[in-house]
Homo-oligomer: A and B are copies of this chain.
Amino acid sequence: MAARLKEEIAAEVKALTDKGERPPHLVAVIVGHDGGSEAYVANKEKNCLAVGFKSTNLRFDETITEEELLAEIDKLNNDPEVDGFIIQMPLPRHIDSQRVTEAISWRKDVDGFHPVNVGRMNIGLPAFRPATPSGIIELLKRYEIPTKGKHAVVIGRSNIVGKPIASMLMQKAYPGDCTVTVCHSATPDIKEQCRRADIIIAALGRPGFVTEDMVKEGAVVIDVGTTRVPDPTKKSGSRLCGDVDFDNVAPKCSYITPVPGGVGPMTNCILLLNTLAARKSLLPGEE
């Protein structure tokens, strides 16, 4: 599905460039050196090039001051040839990440973390929405999974997955119109809550947390976990592990996403879709 989505994006980009217009341009701002960020940015760049986007990585030494970084963000905000940009987290400790996030023009905030985008999404208005929950919505839509009146149980209340997917699933929309329950570290009866779910979104970051006894027959299970666990059989010495005990849970499900390979590839596509919308001076959902 992710491959098909990328083909659709590439076709739109080609239509643009065939008309002599410039392709969408995504900029990643990287401060200092972080192994996770490097891998993410390399992957993002590969995806951009595959669909014909222009991709720029702006690197700064970790000694950059907050004011200097804010000035760079201001330049990007005002650069008509930059459609969208992302700031790789984590930032060095002397920089206030929230202040940086709020300095991004929300019309170029393709990561969807600016409060204006979070707020608009919550209100049900078109907005840039974060990649992971948007990827889940896209999966539900493209597999034509019924959601109206279904009971969705979200495990996890992070700002990048749990809260936004809960917000999206409760909107009067398709996919959406779910009764939504949000569980988290303070929930005493997560197993009970999950057993009643038609749709489970597991986003807590604990490998194999969702077991067979927590899943109703025929449920839809979306696994957002990506914890790296040691695995001596792998060349890298580790592998990605989801929050769901896939082998034992899968037989009970009507749909289930694997890790790796489920939500992840869709997540990558959303950043491209958001940037494509920004190139057209639109918000996703406005087309």
Contact = CB atoms under 8 A, between A and B. Distances in A.
Contact of A177 (B120, B166, B171, B186): B186
Chain copies in complex: 2
Interface string A191-210: 00100000000000000000
A98 interface: yes
Contact of A182 (B117, B123, B159, B180): B180
B122 A167 contact: yes
Q: Mostly helix, strand, loop or mixed at chain A's interface? A: mixed
A35 interface: no
B114 A119 contact: yes
Contacts of A123: 115, 118, 159, 163
A50 interface: no
A122 B119 contact: yes
A176 to B, nearest CB: 9
Interface in A141-164: 148-149, 151, 157, 159, 163
Interface residues on A, range: 35 or more
B115 A119 contact: yes
Contacts of A181: 179-182
A183 interface: yes
22 contacts: A115-B119, A115-B123, A116-B119, A118-B119, A118-B122, A119-B122, A122-B122, A122-B159, A122-B163, A123-B159, A148-B186, A149-B188, A157-B171, A166-B170, A166-B182, A172-B186, A179-B181, A179-B182, A179-B184, A179-B189, A180-B181, A181-B182
